[in-house]
């Protein structure tokens, strides 16, 4: 018996899309010093890889950037350890970002991370 996929899962466009909606291919990291630390080269469908990114030094740089956002959301209080809830919150936030700005929410996230980084000050 063959499983029939829903129409949204049967995408004609090749490639992996986050939540089956947003592509990683058009995301651009404008700060070259952060290209090694913002992982968008290996795209994921859902930011829940269950990877062991704390086993070695600097391995967390290999964790997908959306999953790092999800992991940081489940650190405080009663949401501690509830990753599925954090994934759902990130998905809804990305949908709101897409509706308000008509941009790829992954690109908005990468730009926000670049803007929060420290800058060199030449005085």
Read off the tokens for 18. 């986050």
- Name the percent of the chain lying above pLDDT 70: 86
Residue 112 has pLDDT above 80, yes or no: yes
CB contact at 8 A, 43 and 18: yes
The residue with greater pLDDT, 92 or 68, is 92
75-93 pLDDT, tens digit each: 878 888 888 999 999 999 9
pTM score: 0.77
Tokens matching residue 122 = 């030449």
pLDDT score for 110: 92
pLDDT on residue 96? 96
């Amino acid at each position: 018996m063959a499983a029939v996929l829903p129409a949204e899962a049967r995408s004609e466009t090749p490639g992996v899309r986050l939540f089956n909606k947003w592509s990683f291919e058009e995301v651009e990291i404008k700060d070259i010093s952060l290209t090694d630390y913002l992982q968008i080269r290996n795209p994921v469908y859902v930011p829940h890889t269950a990877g062991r990114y704390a086993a070695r030094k600097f391995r967390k740089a290999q964790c997908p950037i959306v999953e790092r956002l999800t992991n940081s959301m489940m650190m405080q209080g009663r949401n501690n350890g509830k990753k599925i809830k954090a994934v759902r919150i990130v998905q809804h936030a990305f949908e709101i970002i897409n509706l308000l700005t008509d941009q790829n929410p992954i690109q908005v996230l990468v730009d926000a991370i670049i803007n929060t980084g420290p800058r060199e000050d030449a005085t």
